[in-house]
Amino acid sequence: MTTYETCKKDVLAASLWLSEHGYFGSLRGSGGNVSMRGDKESMVITPSSLSYQAMTAEDLFVLGLDLNVIQGKSTLKPSMEAGMHSIIYRRRPDVQAIVHTHQIYGSVFALLDTPIPALFDEVAFSLGTAVEIIPYALSGSPELARNVETKLSNNANAYIIQNHGILALGKTLDKAILHAELLEKVAHIYCLALSTGKSVTALPDAIVQLVAAMRAHEVNSAGARP
């Protein structure tokens, strides 16, 4: 089995899991997208406008990071968010997989235009010092890809796109999915905590600084690898 075939199999399995667990917002729809690096200059990504329940590994696209098609059916189109995935892979050498979802509690904060601070150390060490808001732009537009690019320097593994959904990044596909799960967990708890009207305590500054240092080290180490 070739590298691309293995990646397609893994991306399809991840997409079906996310769909079946409600991360795309509808079971029968085609919202959201999943990708994985094929090699340093390519990625495997889900197609556009095809239900996950009907999708096969052969329906997935292999694109260069310049968005040229390496493999793909002529009857389908690659995800409209391919440009967003490409810019992340080009700017973040530590990222090997990306999931873009429309999960419920993460999307609450997309509408509130409110970032999620570091609330639990085990979540912060995985996601970063905060889950920041990426400013809104039309889905699939170059403007949205540029807005995503402006936030990548914080070295986080999760972001909320205003009035849209979330991005979860990982050094493996399993890690990217885990980060989507952790974001949903902390978004749910934060939403409940805010609903009480009481003050919410964030992690101490010293821990936030430690998280920032660890995330920067991981990203820089990945960039230094040949």
- Residues annotated as catalytic (active site), given as ranges: 81
CA distance 163 to 84: 16
In 3-state terms the chain splits into helix, strand, coil percentages (rounded to 5) of: 45, 20, 35
Residue in 38, 47, 176, 51 with CA at minimum distance from that of residue 101:
176
Distance, CA of 146 to CA of 135 (rounded, Å):
10
Other beta carbons less than 10 A from residue 197's beta carbon: 6
Residue type, 214: M
Task: Quote the CA–CA distance of 117 and 131 in Å, as a whole number.
Answer: 6
Q: How many CB atoms neighbour CB 185 within 10 A?
A: 13
Report residue 70 as tokens: 């390496």
Instruction: Report how far apart, in Å, the C-alpha atoms of 139 and of each of 5, 79, 84, 161 are.
Output: 28, 11, 10, 10
Angle of helix 142-149 versus helix 82-91 axis, rounded to 10? 30
